Structure 1
Amino acid sequence: MARTIKGVTIECVQGDITRQEGFDAVVNAANAELRPGGGVSGAIHRAAGPGLAEECRPLAPIKPGQAVITSAHKLPNRFVIHCLGPVYGVDKPSDRLLADCYRNALKLADRYEISSIAFPAISTGAFGYPVREAAEEACRAIVETIPALKSVKRIRFVLRDAEPVRVHEEALASA
């Protein structure tokens, strides 16, 4: 399913965030120190190679809601945008901090003239954010940010399993 708003297409797919060929940037659900970790962060760092961790080191630490950009190293993309999502129930207000991840990533993408960007479901793994609430917040933030974008024309949610894809499609349809 795809939805186009003001010339920007948003889609949801099941897949691997490290294999998004044809996308200028992928988003890393990072930890504060921007180090390799588990989940999305571990997968991105493994696929990108050790140069990514070296490039990230001077950019850390980041705070919940922040986004920073690096090159993508061995990934099939030009850039990785690293966002620190909130730990659900700990970092507050969780909804605003999660929305800030998406808004700040898109603003950074626009600043770097990135036309296509792929997002994972930030904070829904080890950080415990419920998938439905996270999807609704993410879609709302993206739809609200689109009118200010100049270069971003394609946004993709890349989710590992079918159920989160369905949940994101529902959230996108109602955002």
Structure 2
Amino acid sequence: MEEKIINGKIIRIMIGDITDRDSDAIVNAANNHLKHGGGVAGAIVRKGGKIIQEESDKIGFVPTGSAAITTAGSLKAKYVIHAVGPIWGEGNEEEKLKNAVLNSLKIANEKQLKSISFPAISSGIYGCPKYMVARVLLNSVIEYLNNATSIETVEFCLFDEETYRYFKQEFDKIKCAGIAQR
């Protein structure tokens, strides 16, 4: 685990199971219809309970680049923010991914949450390159944290060593003044 301070806020990267995080909210890499069958989404519902799927069903369709919030059932987190990232090859992936992150952070801020944990959205079955996902997610968070927000800690809880390495490469480029170098 590594962390840096940006505008008085903590950004952290780690390898772990996002369903075990005790952040105020964990982010689910969701599909448009919030049907949580596999990957991160499936793990969240299996561990948090069917209430998460039931609340998601009431929300219904969420456009790519948007996010929605449910309670977290029996997870340690209070909420699950369902962020819909792009599928690689559909076009404008970086902008859609950035919007999914920013919309997740906006929801957390509206709820006055202090901490949020993200997975590597769209880097699994959606096929987006891990290096691009790492760059977009980290830079989007830094951009957001340079504004007034209730959020004090943003972490990236990554599933495997390979994904962590891509995030670490981008993380090492971050200047603590809040600007990610390209």
User: TM-score, with normalisation over the residues of structure 1?
Assistant: 0.96
User: Which consecutive aligned stretches of 4+ in structure 1 deviate over 6 angstroms post-superposition?
Assistant: none
Other-structure match for 1:17: 18
Q: Offset of 1:166 from its aligned partner?
A: 2.0
Q: Count residues in correspondence.
A: 173
Other-structure match for 1:62: 62
Identity of aligned residues (%): 36
Other-structure match for 1:123: 122
Specify the SS of the correspondent of 2:5.
strand
**Greater CA drift, 116-125 or 49-58:** 49-58
Q: Offset of 1:9 from its aligned partner?
A: 0.5
Unaligned runs of 5+ in 2: 174-179
Aligned counterparts of 1:148 and 1:96: Cα–Cα separation in 2 = 19
Q: Output aligned runs, 1:1-175, within 5 Å.
A: 1-21=2-22, 23-90=23-90, 92-174=91-173, 175=180
Aligned counterparts of 1:170 and 1:67: Cα–Cα separation in 2 = 27
Aligned counterparts of 2:4 and 2:165: Cα–Cα separation in 1 = 14
Q: What one-letter code is carried by the residue in structure 2 that aligns with 1:151?
A: S
Root-mean-square deviation (CA), in Å?
Answer: 0.9
Q: What one-letter code is carried by the residue in structure 2 that aligns with 1:40?
A: V
Aligned counterparts of 2:41 and 2:51: Cα–Cα separation in 1 = 14
Q: Offset of 1:35 from its aligned partner?
A: 1.4
User: TM-score, with normalisation over the residues of structure 2?
Assistant: 0.92
Q: Offset of 1:12 from its aligned partner?
A: 0.6
Q: Offset of 1:160 from its aligned partner?
A: 1.2
